[in-house]
Structure 1
């Protein structure tokens, strides 16, 4: 039961983080998120930030309220989102774009290693318990 409580807390925290990031996309951090949009994305940078913010809010809410039987699927979708936005982190690093306090090559480079942590977090916090299944 303790493992299940930790997973639930981790899933809810991740969902809340996605909601907060999504709100940031739409409001106070909108300009900063534009620094992460690769030049090859065929949409305007602001449109990309707005659409991805809406997706993050929806996915964050889904992580929090989805019934247990669908949690693993939502976790895989969240992991897919984290993989799909990774090119933005690479673009921020390669184009030396400062945002979110990432104002040196070293900081931008270290940020690249956080994305796999988010993927793992999404998958681990939503996987079916080995005890009950």
Structure 2
């Protein structure tokens, strides 16, 4: 009789969701550095006292690192927690885009920009769920080893 997998990120749906999010993050990061650089600048809050391009380039590099980390599957829980925190940290940029009515990524109406705000919690949940960050996977794995 086989033991069911721990309530962590080793199931096929979680692994697939983690890989999809990793690919999405990698592509978004590359976009920051290349073909969507200007569009991402529209999300940098005007009140942030930093060069917009520097923020976009830096966040692009971070997104590529997160994407590759998600794809590698190493240290899943830690990566999931850090990525969720990153999504929370960049949320003010999404709010700023809505408040300042900046059009980017096809978000050219207030309604579209508002709807987009509700997807950030989905990304947070996706990062946490797909990596098993909140399931206590480490403890479950330890318990099986004994």
TM over 0.5: yes
Q: Which runs of 4+ in 1 moved over 2 A?
A: none
Question: How far does residue 78 in structure 1 lie from its aligned partner after superposition?
Answer: 0.5
Tell me the distance in 1 between the aligned counterparts of 2:47 and 2:82.
23
Deviations 1:10-66 (A, max 9, x none): 001001000000000000000000000001222100110000000000011011114
Unaligned residue ranges in structure 2 (runs of 5+)? 141-146
Q: Give the alignment partner of residue 125 of structure 1, picking from 105, 130, 144.
A: 130
Write out aligned runs for 1:47-126 (5 A): 47-67=54-74, 70-126=75-131
Question: How far does residue 9 in structure 1 lie from its aligned partner after superposition?
Answer: 0.4
TM-score by length of 1: 0.92
Q: How many residues align?
A: 129
Larger radius of gyration: 2
Three-state SS of the structure 1 residue aligned to 2:43 is coil
Structure 1 counterpart of 2:12: 5
Three-state SS of the structure 2 residue aligned to 1:88 is helix
Tell me the distance in 1 between the aligned counterparts of 2:46 and 2:97.
10
TM-score by length of 2: 0.84
Three-state SS of the structure 1 residue aligned to 2:125 is helix
Tell me the distance in 2 between the aligned counterparts of 1:102 and 1:71.
32
